[in-house]
Amino acid sequence: MTARWQKILQRSIRTHEECEKYFGSSFAKTNYPLLIPLSLAEKIKHQGLDSPLAHQFLPQSAENLTQGLIDPIGDHQYSPAPQIVHRYQSRALLFPTTTCPVICRYCFRKNELYQPDSLFLPKENETLDYLLAHPEIEELILSGGDPLMLNDKKLEQLLSKISKIKHIRFLRFHTRFISIIPERINNRFLGVLNRYQKFFSRMIIVIHSNHISEWGPASLKKIARLNKIGIELRLQSVLLPNVNDTTEALLNLYRLMIHHRVTPYYLHHPDHAKGTSHFQLSIEEGRKIFAPLRAQLPGWALPRYTVDIPGGHGKVDAFNPESYSFAGKLLNQHGEFVEYSS
Ligand code: SF4
């Protein structure tokens, strides 16, 4: 049976022509796929084509510029098995899908998802064998693509296999669904989470959202339901020009989230992905936007402002309490200096 969230997803804008027709406006043709659920398109239309929502999901000609990296954070370099990225000793990413409920124009994996030779393509046995053979992996992060694109049956099958790997004690989901298609958080899905929570010390859902305008009562209700069954909720956002590049925009989002018991976790400096040059800003600008948050949020609600150093060097803190200016070097996860130009 097709679930309601799947029906909502079926009714999406997927072509340039559909997009122009729906919004009654012309858009640049880009080299990247398009996916906007009609329920989201309605919101974008209502909020306007220059709104933070529109800038996140509508195509722009700058996507065709060639500067930037195909694999900005070095996923391929750290992929020892299909669907796996193992960059940090104690945690690994598992990509069970290559698709998402929406295609974000700023996506850092926009050149990797949807490719025929993608490292995200499923070869489940090899993937699970790798996890079994690596007892140092304590935390598994289901990311992608969006892991909640799996239907509940497939998700349950996956969780059943992961739950048998005893050294995986922490399970994290990264998802864009909750503000985009809240219907995904249905009784069946909550039932699956409930059944598998007991196999992990902590089960965490990291919600991806960048602006308060993404949120409505239906999405907030789903947060309440996840809270009720004891799932730990965190927020990750990308700092994006024309979307949330002011302290006030971030504060509005964070205040809403902490009020609903979602703790801000990461504020990502945008990665240097090819096709996202219009979403870049300097580290100096980012630091100036981030700094006032320290006085205006409770300490426990302050996210980590981080930058992922190209080449697979990993995530490091981008905020520097000593200066707004940036010397062009960052310390990677191994304590080595790496050149970085923002
Ligand atoms: S949800 Fe994440 S992985 Fe999917 S398109 Fe958006 S940024 Fe990319």
Q: Averaged over 269-291, what is the pLDDT?
A: 97
Q: Which residue has the higher pLDDT, 121 or 263?
A: 263
Q: How far apart are alpha carbons 147 and 151 in whole angstroms? A: 9
For the cut 80, the answer to whether the pLDDT of residue 65 exceeds it is yes
Categorize the per-residue pLDDT at 126 as very low, low, confident or very high, splitting at 50, 70 and 90: confident
**Strand 139-142 relative to strand 91-94: parallel, antiparallel, unpaired?**
parallel
Whose alpha carbon is nearest atom 2 of ligand 1?
A: 107
Alpha helices in 148-237 (DSSP H): 152-163, 177-180, 187-197, 217-228
pLDDT recorded at residue 118: 59
* 116 confidence band (pLDDT: 50, 70, 90): low
pLDDT number for residue 122: 63
Per-residue confidence (pLDDT) for residue 117, from 0 to 100? 58
Using the predicted structure, report yes or no on whether residue 47 has a pLDDT greater than 90: yes
Give the residue, 21 or 119, on which the prediction is more confident: 21
Confidence tier at 19 by pLDDT (50, 70, 90)? very high
Strand partners, 308: 315
Contact, 101 vs 181, CB < 8 A? yes
Q: Which helix (H) or strand (E) holds 85?
A: strand 84-88
Task: Taking residues 121-133, report their average pLDDT.
Answer: 84
> CA–CA separation, 284 vs 270, rounded Å?
13
Surface-to-core class of residue 30, CB atoms within 10 Å of its CB (0-12 exposed, 13-18 middle, 19+ buried):
middle
**In the chain, what percentage of residues exceed pLDDT 90?**
88
Provide the 3-class DSSP secondary structure of residue 23.
helix
Specify the pTM: 0.96
Burial class (CB in 10 A: 0-12, 13-18, 19+), 304: middle
Q: Report whether pLDDT(124) > 80.
A: no
pLDDT at position 30 is: 95
What's the mean pLDDT when you consider all of the chain? 95
Give the distance (Å) from ligand 1 centre to CA of residue 322. Answer: 33
Give the sign of the dihedral formed by CA 175, CA 114, CA 45, CA 59. Answer: positive
pLDDT in tens, 182-223: 999 999 999 999 999 999 999 999 999 999 999 999 999 999
**Worst-scoring range by mean pLDDT, 23-37, 81-95, 119-133, 235-249?**
119-133
Cα separation, 295 vs 291, in Å, equals 8
Atom of ligand 1 nearest to the CA of 143: 3
Tokens found for residue 275:
């096709």
Q: With a 6 A CB cut-off, is 107 part of the ligand 1 pocket?
A: yes
In ligand 1, the atom with minimum distance to the C-alpha of 106 is 7
* CA 323 to ligand 1 centroid distance, Å: 32
Ligand 1 atom 7: the closest Cα is on which residue?
A: 107
The least confident of 244-248, 280-284, 335-339 is: 335-339
Query: What single string gives the DSSP state of each residue in 282-313?
Result: -HHHHHHHHTTHHHHS-GGGPPEEEEEETTTT
Instruction: Pick the atom of ligand 1 nearest to 103's CA.
Output: 5
Mean pLDDT of 125-143: 95
CB 289, CB 277: distance < 8 Å: no
pLDDT of residue 333: 84
Q: Is the CB of 174 under 6 A from ligand 1?
A: no
The per-residue pLDDT for range 136-159, each reduced to its tens digit, is 999 999 998 899 999 999 999 999
Interval between CA 98 and ligand 1 midpoint (Å):
10
Residues 175, 53, 226: CA angle, nearest 5 degrees: 30
Is the model's pLDDT at 129 over the cut of 70?
A: yes
Compute, in degrees rounded to 10, the torsion defined by CA atoms 243, 240, 108, 204: -80
What confidence category does residue 335 fall into, taking pLDDT thresholds of 50, 70 and 90? confident
Residue 264, CA distances (Å) to 158, 185, 321 in order: 27, 20, 19
> What pLDDT, on a 0 to 100 scale, did the predictor assign at position 145?
87
Per-residue pLDDT at 119: 56
Residues 6+ apart with CB under 8 A from 195: 156
